[in-house]
Amino acid sequence: SSRGDPDDPAAASPRRVHRAQYCAIHRACRYEFYCEDCDMLVCQRCIFEAHENHSYKLPTESLIQRQRTRIRGVVDTLCSELLRAQTSLQETLAAGEANEVRAHQVRAEIDQACDQLELAAESRWAELQRELHAAAADRRRCLESEKSECAIAIVDLWRRVDFLEKSVALGTDIEVMQVKTQLQKSQEKMLKQWTDLAQRGLPAPATETAKGRPA
């Protein structure tokens, strides 16, 4: 072909050659042949290195047009892939921003829930303290009342013992029998009082009272 002839005046005239006309492997060599076995353009060095036993010929206009069509298809495919990649990137960035906004909202909700939980715990603690103090005060009053009753009972007992000693020492047999009968009745009555006092139920704890209280 005259296109690759160095004696051709058109080839000898200086002109700019597009980079695509040079071999992708041997950057200093131009495509000059078409390998039919590999269906690709090759340079002279490609023939000697990798296509020596292949069938090749000079590129014709139809081959060049077919290669252009193939390259255009590859470019269109790459452009479509690039567009899809850009769209996917935009969607990913938008989803990331939405997730970040949602994360801020969730963090704020968690902080608010923690504050509410802390306030509820403090309120419940104060309520339990009040119930405990009230139960302690009731128990203290009950113990003071029982202490007073025990003191009165002890004083009465000492009086009876003193009266019995004087009656035995100074009284007649009839008076001693009367005192003995009266002492037995008084002893039974006192025993009943002490038994009731020992079996008296304790006030209910504050926690049990709180459980029975309606919410």
Nearest-angstrom CA–CA distance, 32 and 86: 38
pLDDT band at 201 (very low <50, low <70, confident <90, very high): low
The predicted model gives 82-89 an average pLDDT of 94
Is the pLDDT score of 3 beyond 50?
Answer: no
Is the model more confident about 29 or about 164? 29
Is the pLDDT score of 185 beyond 60?
Answer: yes
Specify which of 15-19, 78-82, 154-158, 174-178 reaches the highest per-range mean pLDDT.
Answer: 78-82
Does the pTM exceed 0.75?
A: no
pLDDT, residue 93, reads 94
DSSP string, 150-201: HHHHHHHHHHHHHHHHHHHHHS-HHHHHHHHHHHHHHHHHHHHHHHHHHTPP
In tens, the pLDDT along 102-161 reads: 999 999 999 999 999 999 999 999 999 999 999 999 999 999 988 898 888 888 878 877
